[in-house]
Structure 1
Amino acid sequence: MGEARTPGQRAGLTRESVLQAAHKLLIERGLDGLSMRGLATRLGVAPNAIYSHVANKTALVDELLDEVLAAVVVPDPDTTEANAGLVRIMTSSYTVLLDHPDLVPLYLARQGARGPHAQRLGDVMFALLAQAGVTGPAAHEARRVLIVYTIGFAALSTSAGPEPSEDRPLGSAELSGNFASGLQWLLTGILGA
């Protein structure tokens, strides 16, 4: 006798379909408009089918944030020089965040993401920092500073238009340039290079 199928499986839902529908709902209605009941209605299923894939709204948002991080390009810390590897991972993170401006405020509010993709990125960052001799509490602080810098710059950049205006003195191209040069300054301080 096989395993009993969950209500979500019986409804034909997958984790990916739930996250995709949740992201669309979030874009349309914002965080306050994202509810488990609203998501179930969007998917044409009973709410208990959603709970087969995610525990609650907080877990749903955490999974959405973490899923986006799967697109971050991760260098191999065994074959990549620390500075170049950290530039690559943080620049890729910044680009991924810019591709999802609707989620950037949630990354700010939650101070990042916590799922398996975030963990993988953190592990690679720790390996690159260790390669440069930055370990222990200093590595944790360095990782936090790099993450906060990247999310903060993404928040600033997603609120900017392509060109400077009276309301926004910096355009997105200038902010991207500022991100790159500031990242190098941070890494020079962190790595002592």
Structure 2
Amino acid sequence: MEHGRAPGHRAGLTRTAVLGAARELLAEHGLAALSMRALARRLDVAPNALYSHIANKTSLLDDLLDDVLAEVDVPAADIDDPTAGLHQLMTSTYTVLLAHPDLVPLYLSRQGAHGPNAQRLGEITATLLRRTGISEPTVTEALRVLIVYTIGFAAFTSHLPQETGTEHQPSTAEMHDNFHQGLSWLLTGIQQDLPTPNPGGA
């Protein structure tokens, strides 16, 4: 007989297994079907076994959203061109979101993710924005705009056909090109607000 172990440990659970099963349920049956009891049934454990890893459904959703962001590729810390770094970072975020279309509506309704991965990506983005020459409060505003642009584009794209589009319904491939062009315009516009140097001094 085992002693001194939490219910989740007795069941052989890990946080990774819990989040993986939750992601499967969400993809198969939608948000309404995702409950702690349904998750316990999927994992073949008692519901109380989950609470060693997840506090409640709200925490579960927050953890799901943040966990996916670990897949985002970030530019090298010493990248020469911070604008190129921003383009790379937001493009990777867009690609990761499209790989998890069932989660995109949650990013919209919960206004992004707020866990450690989201905070790390936010800090990287803010650092790159500052390296382009802009400062507060523009950095905070620009960060918000880039997040909304990327999540919004992913939401629009996530249920489009992969290849063949029409005049009124572009394909995923066409939207990918649109995303890149629009992001370039957006980054250019953000930097147009930089103060113009005064060659004559103060």
Measure, in 1, the Cα distance between the counterparts of 2:80 and 2:109. 32
Greater C-alpha Rg: 2
Structure-to-structure mapping, 1:114-129, within 5 angstroms: 114-129=114-129
Measure, in 2, the Cα distance between the counterparts of 1:64 and 1:85. 26
Is 1:68 aligned with 2:68? yes
The aligned residue for residue 82 of structure 2 is 82
The aligned residue for residue 161 of structure 1 is 161
The aligned residue for residue 53 of structure 1 is 53
Measure, in 2, the Cα distance between the counterparts of 1:164 and 1:28. 26
> In the TM superposition, what is the alpha-carbon distance from 1:41 to its structure 2 partner?
1.0
Greater percentage in helix: 1
> In the TM superposition, what is the alpha-carbon distance from 1:75 to its structure 2 partner?
1.0
The aligned residue for residue 102 of structure 2 is 102
Question: Gaps (5+ residues) in structure 1?
Answer: none
What SS is found at the alignment partner of 2:100?
coil
Q: 1:52 to 1:95 in 2, by over 3 A?
A: same
What SS is found at the alignment partner of 1:136?
coil
Question: Gaps (5+ residues) in structure 2?
Answer: 195-202
Aligned CA RMSD, in angstroms, stands at 1.6
Measure, in 2, the Cα distance between the counterparts of 1:46 and 1:123. 39
What SS is found at the alignment partner of 2:73?
coil
How high is the TM-score relative to the length of structure 2? 0.89
Measure, in 1, the Cα distance between the counterparts of 2:81 and 2:180. 18
> In the TM superposition, what is the alpha-carbon distance from 1:165 to its structure 2 partner?
4.1
Is 1:134 aligned with 2:134? yes
Query: Does the 8 Å CA contact 1:77/1:85 hold for their aligned counterparts?
Result: no
Aligned residues: 190
Measure, in 2, the Cα distance between the counterparts of 1:181 and 1:105. 24
Measure, in 1, the Cα distance between the counterparts of 2:49 and 2:85. 41
Measure, in 1, the Cα distance between the counterparts of 2:141 and 2:69. 21
Measure, in 1, the Cα distance between the counterparts of 2:71 and 2:32. 26
